[in-house]
């Protein structure tokens, strides 16, 4: 009886909503209703709690406006099919808008009420499962690998219950025996160097005969040579904190059908957008929207998926699928999809337990995102999650959201070029007066911004998503077309990390962004010209011109993103505040380690300490107590880099000078051991500026970095001009 009552209530509510959406009202009445909804959402956001019924009411109000816009857009604005030159671009824009609305509703389903942060269950002493820690590598620098391996060896877990494996795909038999002698020698040297490093640190080195099935094949080779109950995967640049296993393993003791515990990917360096726009210290990173809210939303529906690293996986589950899946180039999400369809469960732990590196250059960033996008399209093509047998309906919707998201490049490019159809060619792709466009589209956009702010406010600031989508779309769209046309074509490419930029310059793939910006500026000039010459169309021209100006603001900001700032630092500093002693010429001085990186540390002597005169290159020793009990040493050789003075006293810059493998263990203990420092930094950036202040902030950033990007272009143009004017030497005559 109760079910019938609930079903009837839902049916009545749906009919009321449909009636309100399709109710024919005047343009003025719609504008007033839209403004009332916007005001109500603002009041609910300002004075209501961030969760619960007030949040749902605000989202429901916003949904009503969005659906009314969809109804109006579908029934009143499409060009007649008889006008084919208008209909084709008009329908392409309509599809782009409907995709955006569909993805908005999928997002509402996924994250409207995300799973609260989980508390790790304790592990009873003596009942710890055995664990194999896999660190797959291909071409990463040995010093970077030494840091990750050292951090893994310091995990707070019984030493006889876990084994660390370095899975090297750069020193395979295939590579060591290839015909290219130079490359074969490099592979042989790499194998010998990493073998010696692993022996010195105390971990297992493993390679294989051939480089088959990329990362998935490498991991499966590790499975064949190990026996642990659980498998942990860390990317080569993902150094774990000491409590990683303590925060994750206990869940497997509670649920025998659990196949995955995934943790967030936390990065200690900025991505190209954050570095070039200088937002890393105060704005949430791009990945925080996914790891801070979306994965928690997926977790609510038992759909949190494997992200390739920082995860614990049940070996029994992998046995059902013969290991990690390798049909696509995103073996992580593919493996999770297969295991979810077989009835296994997953859990997401929202605590940063690793510190990783993001791509430094814009080209590497685009390469990484292209691989993710192509891999998700392969999953959609080969596995089709909406129709995958074994998945629940919520899981189908969640995987739809995760895969279809990567089609964003199509609507983003359509929104970019659509105003130009009218401004340049007078095509009527949107049959509406300026007043109608303003009334419906403005309220729809405001409601959309407010809904996104409700969902992601602390994790993604206004207009930043649009910027990230735009800077990726120009290159992701052809990559998606390529994989749709030939789904077997993409191959796994390792993302470059730890790159440096000796001088500021425009990215080698940045030229298209300047071309697009120039075209949009021409569109602005055409808008002004048409306003002067066609005053009878002023309402439409103003609205379309304003749309183009919005695109100019986003495209201008992108010029700053592709204008690479100089970055000569190979490693990135983190705040530490660890007590230490600085030993100089055999004399010990009490001090505090202010901050550090994999390359060195800045040491502040205690207030009552007077150091001797120091010169650059002077040898010294840094002594501090390691957190991990299995590190037998407490001294690190260093050299003095510089001595500075600030308002709080003296700062001594030191460079680590490791002479034995155990020194890398000590460096990793200093930099990576404590997860609280990552959580604290993460929380310091999670502020919600609101739609108005966020918009003003984005406008300020865009204006500044548009100018910076254009200045980089002028400098590059001068270099090209000097190169063209440089005399060319004639070839020597043969005699």
Active site residues: 169, 332
Please state the φ and ψ torsions of residue 646, each to the nearest 5 degrees.
-130, -170
Q: Are 554 and 702 in contact (CB under 8 A)?
A: yes
d(CA 607, CA 349): 41
d(CA 531, CA 434): 13
Instruction: Tell me the two tokens of residue 624.
Output: 């501090």
d(CA 276, CA 273): 5
Instruction: Supply the Cα-derived Rg of the chain in whole angstroms.
Output: 29
Angle subtended at Cα 406 by Cα 405 and Cα 408, rounded to the nearest 5 degrees: 80
d(CA 609, CA 650): 10
Place of tokens 């022996």: 199
| Torsion sign, CA atoms 429, 430, 432, 437 | negative
Q: Looking at residue 495, what DSSP letter applies? A: P
d(CA 196, CA 341): 42
Place of tokens 């990329």: 214
8 CB-near residues (< 8 Å, 6+ apart): none
Place of tokens 């992108």: 558
Measured CA to CA in angstroms, residue 571 lies from 548, 576, 655 at distances of: 41, 15, 12
User: Helix, strand, or coil here: 133?
Assistant: strand
Please state the φ and ψ torsions of residue 301, each to the nearest 5 degrees.
-105, 20
Using alpha carbons, select from 561, 562, 525, 528 the residue that is nearest to residue 542.
528
Q: Looking at residue 624, what DSSP letter applies? A: -
Instruction: Tell me the two tokens of residue 643.
Output: 């001595």
As a 3-state breakdown, the chain gives helix, strand, coil percent values, each rounded to 5, of 55, 15, 30
Q: Are 262 and 332 in contact (CB under 8 A)?
A: no
Q: Give the burial class of 553: count Cβ atoms within 10 A of its Cβ; 0-12 exposed, 13-18 middle, 19 or more buried.
A: buried
């Amino acid at each position: 009886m109760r079910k019938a009552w609930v079903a009837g209530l839902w049916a009545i509510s749906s009919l009321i909503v449909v009636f309100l959406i399709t109710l024919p009202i005047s343009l003025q009445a719609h504008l007033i209703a839209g403004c009332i909804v916007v005001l109500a959402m603002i009041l609910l956001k300002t004075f209501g709690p961030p969760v619960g019924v007030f949040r749902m009411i605000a989202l429901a109000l916003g949904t009503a406006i969005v659906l009314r816009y969809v109804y109006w857009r579908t029934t009143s604005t499409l060009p007649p099919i008889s006008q084919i030159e208008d209909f084709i671009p008009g329908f392409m824009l309509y599809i782009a808008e409907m995709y955006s609305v569909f993805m908005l509703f999928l997002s509402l389903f996924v994250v409207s009420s995300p799973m609260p942060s989980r508390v790790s269950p304790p592990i009873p002493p003596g009942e710890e499962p055995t664990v194999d820690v896999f660190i797959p590598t291909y071409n990463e620098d040995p010093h970077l690998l030494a840091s990750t391996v050292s951090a893994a060896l310091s995990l707070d877990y019984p030493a006889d219950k876990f084994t660390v494996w370095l899975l090297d795909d750069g020193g395979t038999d295939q590579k060591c025996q290839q015909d290219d002698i130079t490359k074969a020698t490099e592979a042989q040297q790499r194998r010998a160097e990493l073998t010696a490093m692993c022996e010195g640190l105390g971990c297992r080195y493993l390679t294989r005969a051939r480089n088959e099935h990329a990362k998935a094949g490498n991991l499966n080779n590790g499975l064949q040579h190990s026996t642990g109950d659980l498998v942990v995967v860390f990317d080569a640049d993902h150094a774990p904190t000491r409590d990683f296993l303590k925060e994750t393993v206990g869940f497997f003791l509670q649920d025998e059908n659990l196949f995955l515990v995934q943790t967030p990917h936390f990065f200690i360096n900025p991505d190209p957008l954050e570095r070039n726009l200088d937002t890393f210290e105060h704005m949430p990173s791009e990945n925080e929207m996914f790891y801070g809210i979306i994965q928690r939303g997926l977790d609510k529906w038992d759909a949190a998926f494997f992200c390739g690293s920082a995860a614990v996986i049940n070996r029994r589950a992998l046995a059902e699928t013969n290991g990690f899946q390798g049909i696509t180039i995103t073996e992580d999400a593919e493996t999770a999809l297969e295991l979810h369809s077989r009835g296994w469960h997953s859990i997401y732990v929202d605590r940063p337990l690793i510190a990783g590196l993001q791509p430094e250059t814009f080209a590497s960033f685009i390469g990484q995102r292209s691989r993710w996008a192509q891999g998700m399209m392969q999953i959609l093509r080969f596995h089709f999650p909406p129709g995958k047998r074994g998945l629940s309906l919520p899981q189908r919707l969640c995987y739809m959201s995760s895969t279809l998201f990567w089609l964003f490049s199509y609507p983003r490019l359509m929104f970019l070029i659509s105003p130009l159809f009218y401004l340049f060619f007078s095509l009527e792709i949107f049959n509406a007066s300026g007043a109608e466009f303003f009334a419906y589209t403005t309220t729809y956009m405001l409601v959309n911004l407010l809904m996104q702010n409700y969902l992601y406010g602390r994790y993604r600031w206004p207009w930043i998503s649009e910027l990230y989508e735009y800077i990726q779309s120009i290159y992701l769209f052809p990559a998606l077309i390529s994989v749709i046309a030939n789904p077997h074509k993409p191959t796994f490419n390792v993302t470059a990390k730890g790159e440096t930029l000796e001088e500021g310059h425009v990215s080698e793939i940045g030229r298209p962004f300047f071309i697009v910006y120039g075209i949009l500026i021409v569109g602005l000039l055409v808008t002004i010209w048409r306003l002067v010459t066609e005053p009878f169309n002023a309402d439409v021209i103003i609205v379309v011109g304003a749309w183009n100006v919005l695109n100019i603001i986003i495209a201008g900001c992108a010029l700053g993103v592709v204008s690479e700032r100089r970055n000569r630092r190979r490693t990135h500093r983190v705040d530490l505040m660890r007590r230490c002693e600085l030993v100089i010429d055999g004399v010990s001085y009490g001090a505090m380690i202010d901050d550090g990186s994999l390359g060195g540390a800045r040491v502040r002597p205690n207030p009552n300490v007077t150091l001797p005169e120091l010169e650059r290159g002077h040898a010294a020793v840094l002594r501090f107590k390691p957190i991990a009990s299995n590190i037998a040493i407490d001294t690190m050789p260093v050299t003095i880099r510089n001595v500075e003075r600030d308002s709080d006293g003296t700062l001594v810059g030191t460079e680590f000078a490791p002479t034995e493998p155990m020194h890398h263990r000590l460096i990793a203990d200093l930099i990576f051991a404590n997860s609280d420092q990552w959580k604290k930094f993460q929380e310091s950036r999670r502020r919600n500026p609101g739609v108005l202040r966020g918009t003003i902030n984005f406008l300020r950033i865009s204006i500044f970095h548009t100018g910076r990007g254009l200045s980089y272009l002028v400098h590059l143009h001068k270099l090209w001009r000097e190169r063209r004017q440089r005399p060319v030497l004639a070839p020597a005559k043969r005699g």
